[in-house]
Structure 1
Amino acid sequence: MLELTRNGAYLKCSAIHVATGVEVSAMGPATEPEGLKRVAVAKLKRALASR
């Protein structure tokens, strides 16, 4: 699950693995939501691989 939250000029993208509850987030410019989604998913994959 991906969740986007805007705070002014910045966007926070949280990626949550529903089955395990592992959550990671990435922050960046609000003009690049697709890039933030890619970064958050990549971070989530790394977090799950290290478990």
Structure 2
Amino acid sequence: MNGRREIFVEFVILGNSLKATAIDPESGLEASVIGPANAPQSTMAQAARRKLEFMAKKKT
């Protein structure tokens, strides 16, 4: 995955937690991270994207 691919990021509040899911629409691969509900969305999105990149590299 390079920096040019479109990645969707979804946020869901689960009680006191925030779940961020990064989705690659081309491969269908998804990666989620969970943190405190008051964590900045940008930080959570970055962590989810990094996890998605790791999973994509691991898959190849």
Give the TM-score taking structure 1 as reference length: 0.90
Q: Number of aligned pairs?
A: 51
Identity of aligned residues (%): 29
Aligned to 1:15: 22
Structure 1, unaligned stretches of length 5 or more? none
Q: Secondary structure at the match of 1:37?
A: helix
- Counterparts of 2:19 and 2:31 in 1: how far apart (Å)? 10
Structure 2, unaligned stretches of length 5 or more? 1-7
Larger Rg: 1 or 2?
2
**Structure with more strand by fraction:** 1
The structural deviation recorded for 1:24 is 0.7
What is the root-mean-square deviation in Å for CA atoms of aligned residues? 0.9
